Amino acid sequence: MQEGIGETPIFLVFIPFGLAIYAAFTNTATIEQAKQTMTEQKKIIEEQKEIIDSINYAKRLQNALPPSIELINSNLPHNFIYYQPKDIVAADCTGHGVPGAMVSVMCSGALTRTINELHITQPHLILSKTRELILETFAKNNEEVKDGMDISLLCIDKKNKIAFWSGANNPLWYLQNKKVVEIKPDKQPIGKTDKPLPFTTHKIDFNEETTFYLFNDGLPDQFGGLKGKKYKYKQMQELLLQNCHLSLNEQKQKLHKSFMDWKGKLEQVDDVCVMGIRV
């Protein structure tokens, strides 16, 4: 009995010692694994930061393409532009984000060249020539490219109070005598289409009370509300009509609130752009 009792403490001493060694190895392995995980996460964060920095720089380049707000205000003092992009870089072209921005840069270049270099001023001819230039660019690629742009193009003759408008997939609304008038667009994009047709120019006589609205389909196509349905054009038209007595800046705020309230926590589905002009 005495010999058995003497062996017991030796056995009990080695158990905690073994556990301590096992724990040490385990802690070391855990620390190394944690270090490796942190290194990998740091690398991912740095890569993401580089991507975001590149996209933000692309946004600055894209923002340099359209005319400045100061230039717009100097020519059209009574206006608002409500712009709510889905991504950091965006435009109403095929796709979103970087792909959409690349197409928009191409389309913007063709549009600028048509007006500034070729001196074409009639809206339907501007759209036709822009489409031609874009298709020439795409033709350099061996693969078939069906990207393009929707547009609403308004030319205003202030002196004679006449406006000329052409649209590719996007309509024009103008509010006159407390009534919204819609001019439908040509149902074809600025890009490749199966049956390309000449674009149409519409002539509009306006007065001091006339307000023009140019927009894309971003707001009408947004899902939301109590049932998660589309906002739709009718609701947008009713909103503009209800607030036509307000200043253009106040109308812009109403549009923004209506859009955000409708969207709620749902994802934004498209870029939103609405422009109001009172000449």
Pick the residue with more confidence: 69 or 120? 120
pLDDT over 70 at 128, yes or no: yes
Express each pLDDT in 177-203 by its tens digit: 889 999 999 999 888 888 889 999 999
For residues 48 and 105, membership in a common domain is answered with no
Q: What's the burial of 191, exposed, middle or buried (CB within 10 Å: 0-12/13-18/19+)? A: buried
The percentage of the chain sitting over the pLDDT mark of 90, rounded to a whole number, equals 50
pLDDT of residue 44: 79
For residues 49 and 87, membership in a common domain is answered with no
Express each pLDDT in 231-272 by its tens digit: 999 999 999 999 999 999 999 999 999 999 999 999 999 889
Express each pLDDT in 55-100 by its tens digit: 677 666 666 667 788 888 988 999 999 998 887 655 455 555 566 6
For residues 149 and 269, membership in a common domain is answered with yes
**122, part of any domain:** yes
**274, part of any domain:** yes
pLDDT over 60 at 4, yes or no: no
pLDDT of residue 149: 84
| pTM > 0.95 | no
Pick the residue with more confidence: 43 or 217? 217
CA–CA separation, 18 and 218 (whole Å): 67
For residues 203 and 108, membership in a common domain is answered with yes
Boundaries of domain holding 215: 78-278
**72, part of any domain:** no
For residues 28-47, average pLDDT: 75
For residues 101 and 231, membership in a common domain is answered with yes
**71, part of any domain:** no
pLDDT over 90 at 130, yes or no: yes
For residues 52 and 87, membership in a common domain is answered with no
pLDDT of residue 242: 94
Pick the residue with more confidence: 195 or 5? 195
pLDDT of residue 22: 53
Express each pLDDT in 132-186 by its tens digit: 998 888 777 655 666 678 999 999 999 999 999 999 999 999 999 889 999 999 9
Give the CATH number of the domain where residue 155 resides. 3.60.40.10
CB-based contacts of 166, cutoff 8 Å, min separation 6: 123, 124, 126, 127, 153, 185, 186, 199, 200, 201, 202
Pick the residue with more confidence: 276 or 92? 276
**159, part of any domain:** yes
